[in-house]
Amino acid sequence: MATIKDIADRAGVSMAAVSRILNNDAGLKASVETRQRVIEIAKELGYTKSRKTKASFRLGILQWFSVEQEMKDNYYLMVRKGIEDFCIKNYIQVIRAFKTDANWEEQLQVVDGLMCIGKFSEKEIDKLMKISSNIVFLDMTVDEYEVTTYSLDFRKAVYDAMDYLVDKGHQKIAFLGGQEYLENGDLFIDDRKKYYQKYCKHHELDGDTYLKEGIYSTESGYEMMGELIEEGKIPTAVFAASDLIAIGAIKSIQEHDLRVPEDISVIGFDDVDMCKFITPALTTIHAPAYDMGQYAVNFLFASSNLMRVTPIRVKMPCKLVERESCMDISGK
């Protein structure tokens, strides 16, 4: 019978580390790869504990971003971390693939369930559903397909942000967004832009003059904000579709000798860690990316034990996090 020492020798880690990994010690500072390697070696050697493990379940994670893009976008990284932390706790084998991998389809052929993170075309969805019927899509709704989706409640999130700014007296509210394209070249419609325009129309605000779209990056936020200012279209507030865009916009505002929030208030979206440390600290919409990963993988794993699964559509609630980047101008 295999022992802790056998696993430690094979994995190249200490016996204490093996014990803590197999006992799901969250306080142990070990990488996901190390934890996964120990779990896989324990399975290969036939190591058994007093309780039943679940390492026989193989979960595929397909990320539409490349590794490099994911590192720049904390949102998708946190979704995946939520999934993988659940898998570590429940002894689930992870097979991770990125759409930029040349052989991603081949990698996922052996999975018992599939988590797809990001935006996928109809053709890709058909292909993925053939790989596994036990499938969940995260961060996009798939209205035409009988699949389970987890996404954010963008309508309420956008309306909360806009209500917050309007209540502070703002009427000239800019929207800085990003454009994303599917594998077939089609533009993916961003619900944040859609609901911004609906809100402006309903409340008789100008939803066209102050709207700019680029990509989800600080550089793009910087450029879009600069364009508005140089065109003489200076808003009193900015709602950015991501924190990265908001951070770029703040830098551009400050470089044009304007102040945040005294001259222009700024709200972001995502609530990445950096928001707390920039000056001024960024008011933003918290997107529960980690929780989305946890809830979605828990559903997928549980549904693998059911005879039939009815697809569900889950919209995760977002929350406004008030910091220092917005100002009340209602008294002006």
H-helix segments, 142-288: 154-167, 191-202, 218-230, 243-255
Q: Round the CA-based radius of gyration of the chain to a whole number and report it.
A: 23
CB crowding 15-34: b at 16 or more within 10 Å, else e: eebbebbbeeeeeeebeeeb
CA–CA distance from 93 to each of 44, 137, 148, 227, 312 (Å)?
Answer: 12, 19, 21, 48, 24
Contact call for residues 162 and 199 (beta carbons, < 8 A): yes
AA letter at 329: I
* Contact status, residue 192 vs residue 227, Cβ threshold 8 Å: no
C-alpha–C-alpha distance, residues 327 and 267, integer Å: 11
pLDDT at residue 49, rounded to an integer = 65
**Maximum average pLDDT range among 39-43, 102-106, 231-235:** 231-235
**Lowest-pLDDT range of 17-31, 231-245, 263-277:** 17-31
pLDDT at 25: 63
49/332 Cα distance (integer angstroms) = 68
163-210 pLDDT, tens digit each: 999 999 999 999 999 998 887 888 888 999 999 999 999 999 999 999
Q: In this predicted structure, what is the pLDDT of residue 180?
A: 87
Q: What is the pLDDT of residue 74?
A: 82
Q: Which residues pair with 61 in a beta bridge?
A: 96, 115
The whole-number pLDDT of residue 309 equals 77
pLDDT score of 52: 43
- Alpha-carbon distance values, 29 to 17, 19, 21, 35, 61 (Å): 9, 13, 10, 10, 23
Q: Which residue is it, tokens 């990320």? A: 63
CA-based end-to-end distance of the chain: 77
Q: What is the pLDDT at residue 51?
A: 46
pLDDT for position 19: 79
Q: Is the pTM of this model over 0.75?
A: yes
Tell me the C-alpha to C-alpha distance, in Å, between residue 242 and each of 49, 84, 278. 45, 24, 15
